[in-house]
Structure 1
């Protein structure tokens, strides 16, 4: 029952946003009585905070699964960047975005969302480093990884307003080429020293 309530909350956050998500709608969507929903989550914030934790786990699992299926070899950088672009344009990201925006003006929600998003950010960074197979101790590598994550988040934000998947793909292809050049240059410089 708890899982159904959390999934229904995520679905409604994607469809209706934070303001349009109510405990009554969640109960209806989950097929759970209002009393049962109140037993598990007495307030909307209780429900949304639990949904944030659920989303955090789900986002991490989705990224780990995608990383496990990445190709090896010359197209790996492009595959990593496209995988991140897809993840940050997914419904799960849209639901998380709704919570970020709501948390900006809700101190109780911010107290729950902030630490979880920091954890998600660190984990996404760690996974990206591992997926790209780069050494962050080398100058500029950490910044390139973070720029990649910032880029895909921004493109994900843009995709919530319009379907710009073709433009996003072109940008990500170009960025993957930039990463390959910059990371190869670092390798070349490292061998010359």
Structure 2
């Protein structure tokens, strides 16, 4: 019993340090990109020594590969949290589209973009980034379907929901260099009406 009590605080501190390093790595990627996100910069942001970082992550690639998984968890948690406050009724479709676009234009998606670009030239990063992209894509589609209460058995619904996510990613990419919020607001409004029309389309009777 005494051994467990003695080890628990140390394990908690180690876990907290690891999480702080991962969070700092994501923040550095969002602000400085891959080239500016060295281990030293991350350590300074996290308030830890380089030795502490190397205790958890042997190489820079190990650090940012782990940050990929952390980033995916944070991104999905942000979407789920926002989904709880979505309104009911006719305004819901707009609220869902606006939420998805908001998440894709935030710092977590910005960090992911920098990782995707870096992975194109770095084989050590590519498997983790590819897995991240696939995981977020699957989870984001499932969340969008649930939030919209979309019936994917209706022709065109699945494709239009996926197009919504593709549009959100594209707007996130546009926002990487400049603030595109005025144009983005109009696009969200128009696409919400298009998506809503597809979602409300009655199922077609089977062909004779």
- TM-score w.r.t. length of structure 2: 0.88
- In structure 1, stretches of 5+ residues that fail to align are none
> Greater CA radius of gyration, 1 or 2?
2
- The equivalent residue for 1:99 is 115
Whole-Å separation in 2 of the counterparts to 1:135 and 1:182: 10
Structure 1 residue 189, shift from structure 2 partner: 4.3
- The equivalent residue for 1:187 is 202
Q: Please report the RMSD computed on the Cα atoms of aligned residues, expressed in angstroms.
A: 1.5
Structure 1 residue 188, shift from structure 2 partner: 6.4
Which residues of 2 match residues 5-154 of structure 1 at below 5 A? 5-154=21-170
Deviations 1:9-51 (A, max 9, x none): 1111011101110001111111111111111111110110111
Structure 1 residue 183, shift from structure 2 partner: 2.0
Structure 1 residue 105, shift from structure 2 partner: 1.7
- The equivalent residue for 1:172 is 188
Poorly superposed stretches of 4+, deviation over 3 Å = none
> How many residues in Structure 1 have an aligned counterpart in Structure 2?
191
- In structure 2, stretches of 5+ residues that fail to align are 1-16
- TM-score w.r.t. length of structure 1: 0.95
